[in-house]
Structure 1
Amino acid sequence: MTRGTPSDPPATGPLSPRDVAERASREACGVPTDLLEGYVALLAAISTGGGLDGEERRRRRDIGALAAERDVPMRGVVDLYLSATWIAWPSLPGVLAATGADALRRIGEAVFHAADTAITAVAEGYEEAQRWSLRQEESFRREFVDDLLDGRRPETLAGRAERYGLRLAGSYVVVVAAGAQPFVDGGPATRRVEAVVDGSRTSREVLVTTKDGLLVCVAPDAGGAVEEFVGRLLETLGPDGGWRIGVGRPQRGPGGAVRSFEQARQALHMAQRLELPGQVHLASDLLVYQVLIRDRAALADLVDGVLEPLRAGRTRPETLLDTLSAYFAAGRVATAAAQQLHIGVRTVTYRLNRVEALTGYSVYDPQQGFTLHVAVLGARLLGWPGDT
């Protein structure tokens, strides 16, 4: 409300603290009067030469914290205190007893300095309570995210998920993104993505968070929410950041998020190992590789049995492996593989012949070529020859 245009008519006599509080509450659009507890008495004491001690400041900070807990807007609390100050002014003992302009000026300076100090203390208590509430909420959210994506305490997940707009009885998909730098809660890239999601039509049912350096989005498998998020994510992160995105398969129920999360994370891992083209990798498109990696011991035996002889050649095994990968990726066309590798066709042919001479497997024989292809994929997935 505009100062100088009070809603109540001028008082005909001194106002009691209760009268001041009630009028100030009306001026401040109904902010509770108990948030002024002791304030009018404080102003009365200041007007007669009293002071504002440390105990009173602590009292104001406690009141500020109480206002924050009640979700009273800070601007409303400030309005309440300012209204109480000007409403109480004509009734303050020092003002009533003052003789002359100089005396009124000194009292005014003291009263309004005390009002400034009191309101500042209220604001400090308010802000401290909000920071504590925010830290507590962040702790609750982090705990929920970890339980959701680690599969812990599934019996409590559904109820806690509603707090974040998720209905885990439905079907959800988890999308993860990895970049050159790890994603962290509150980091610049994370905040940009959160801002974009907040502006989308499905924002209420989408949870954006981080986990193990990955940006994670839990989105409903309905209404194009996943496609919308992936598109917005690519627009936000940009094309040149080295980003890769993994998309899990739709899963239902409290335990579905952890399954979809693992699928999305594994899709990222496979795409990086296999050096797959593109930025977005769907777990549903990589099922054949999941079959390969499921029996890791058997896959390792295949890789060792077929490719281990490559270590005996003059050409580094990594070079021969890269040539095989490019050859199979190019549809077994040597010319296309040479273009991809930026080498001559004769060099590709020479290397393929060296592979046959060392391993006994020829890329030109359908069955042997298939065995070589699977072994090459397995080598990529297992990190052979570097860290098997």
Structure 2
Amino acid sequence: MSEAGGLRWPGSGAENSADEAWLTAIAQAAAGDSQAPLELLVEYLTLLADAAISGRRPREHELAIVRELGRRAAEQGIPAGRVVDLYLSAAWRMWRDLPDVVPYRNRDTVRASAQAVLRAVGEAIAVLVDSYQVATQQLVRQEESLRRELVDDLLRGDPDVSRIVERAEPFGLDLGRPHQVVLARPADGLPEGDTSANMLELFILDRFGDREVLVATKEGLLVVLIPTTAPSTAPRTITHDVGTLIHDALLRHRSGREWRVSTGRPYPGAYGIARSYEEAREALTLADRLRLDTAVVDARDMLVYRVLVRDQAAIVDLIQAVLTPLTQARGGAEPLLATLEAYFAVGEVATDAARRLNVSVRTVTYRLTKVKELTGHDPGDPDQRFTLHIAVLGARLLEWPSRDLPRGADTHS
């Protein structure tokens, strides 16, 4: 059979130009009504006409063509409803005109023809929709796979910049603009099939009106790649509190679930994305080691801690010189360290520290006195307090005293 410009009339195989013109006119009218491509009606009108005249059911090779048309429609991004509307529109137009083309002799013939056409329409549309859905699922899986690969390469800092720019283009990413990475991690882990990523992408698109956003999952984390400057057509630009906005959206999405969110600083270019990701990931790690209570951490606020981590040899020396005497206390160093940590966190107010630790004020003051006795450093003295505070932060970063301090060459990062 020929395509839309010359549809074949069923029968002996000889082409009839008048009948072909009739089928073509129906196809053109149906395509115009539904705003769908004319080519999607190839074979469908022929099998309907054949069903109306001979009463036969669609043959497998005809349905195979319809199945292929469903796949093609999905790949072209044509809405499923529009494709179904095209097929129904073509069917009723053919049925309306059929008596003028092939006069029926009696009522039984009309009834049998109607049943055959309805059956052919049902089978064809069922095959069409099924093929469309399968193709759509395959396209979604393929896009998700491409998205994950792109995100992985961006976060890793793929050295093939020209290639990664080309791959980013279909997702609307302009790598010349500054981007930042935001990481979100649930306290209970990220299960397979979790819908938080989809929700988060819709939220950001709705909130900022910017299509240049990628949300993916990586190693149990939600990864958000977001521009920090918006084009002139966008209603709002990304603000510095995007971490808080994302955290609040995640809490609303699933009430009762705890999240920790970290934000890297924005940088331009493909390598800037990898740098922002490393900062956000390091901020998460440092927040865990420091046992920070805050649910949202910013890489900017973690710079001082990164300095401590970088000069590990110096911080080990400081811990050994200042804090190791605490191990002589009854119960070990941990209770005294926890007290110092709480005391500094609340602005050196013993009452607030006691409330934070769920102990009495007397216990807090006793422990602070013990610290002064063992270390020779007074937590109440401004100069000595600074030394103690830095030493406590370093201890938390190195997970001391639960882990031994690095020795020798291990102290150099």
Flag the 1:86–1:189 CA change in 2: closer, same or farther, 3 A.
closer
What are structure 2's unaligned runs of at least 5 residues?
A: 1-15, 230-235, 405-413
Counterpart of 1:259 in structure 2 is 275
Residue pair 2:289, 2:399 contacting (<8 A) in 1 also: yes
Counterpart of 2:115 in structure 1 is 109
Residue pair 2:31, 2:86 contacting (<8 A) in 1 also: yes
Q: 1:26 aligns with which of 29, 32, 40?
A: 29
Q: 1:226 aligns with which of 223, 236, 239?
A: 239
Residue pair 1:158, 1:169 contacting (<8 A) in 2 also: no
Q: Distance in 1 between matches of 2:115 and 2:370?
A: 95
Counterpart of 2:176 in structure 1 is 169
Question: Any idea what the Cα deviations from partners look like across 1:209-228, whole Å, max 9, x if unmatched?
Answer: 33222222222233640336
1:100 aligns with 2:106: yes
Q: Distance in 1 between matches of 2:168 and 2:192?
A: 19
Residues 1-388 of structure 1: pairs in structure 2 closer than 5 A: 16-29=19-32, 31-46=36-51, 47-89=53-95, 96=102, 98-155=104-161, 156-183=163-190, 187-222=194-229, 224-227=237-240, 229-238=242-251, 241-359=257-375, 361-363=377-379, 368-388=384-404
Flag the 1:233–1:121 CA change in 2: closer, same or farther, 3 A.
same
Q: Distance in 2 between matches of 1:331 and 1:70?
A: 62
Question: Any idea what the Cα deviations from partners look like across 1:24-78, whole Å, max 9, x if unmatched?
Answer: 3223315333322223332343231423233322221012112222333333332
Residue pair 2:326, 2:374 contacting (<8 A) in 1 also: yes
Flag the 1:284–1:41 CA change in 2: closer, same or farther, 3 A.
closer
- SS, match of residue 146 in structure 1: helix
How far off its partner does 1:18 sit?
Answer: 4.2
- Which letter does structure 1 place at the counterpart of 2:368? L
Question: Any idea what the Cα deviations from partners look like across 1:282-318, whole Å, max 9, x if unmatched?
Answer: 2112211110011334434433454344334322422
How far off its partner does 1:146 sit?
Answer: 0.8
Q: Distance in 1 between matches of 2:281 and 2:394?
A: 18
User: Which shows bigger deviation, 172-181 or 325-334?
Assistant: 325-334
Q: Distance in 1 between matches of 2:352 and 2:44?
A: 84
Q: TM-score, normalised by structure 2?
A: 0.80
Q: Distance in 1 between matches of 2:45 and 2:353?
A: 86
Q: Distance in 2 between matches of 1:106 and 1:334?
A: 92
Q: Distance in 1 between matches of 2:206 and 2:193?
A: 18
- Which letter does structure 1 place at the counterpart of 2:290? L
User: Which shows bigger deviation, 242-251 or 141-150?
Assistant: 242-251
RMSD of the alignment, in Å?
A: 3.1
Q: Distance in 2 between matches of 1:75 and 1:280?
A: 43
How far off its partner does 1:145 sit?
Answer: 0.7
How far off its partner does 1:276 sit?
Answer: 3.0
Q: Distance in 2 between matches of 1:82 and 1:224?
A: 45
Q: Figure out how many residues of one structure are paired with residues of the other and give that number.
A: 376
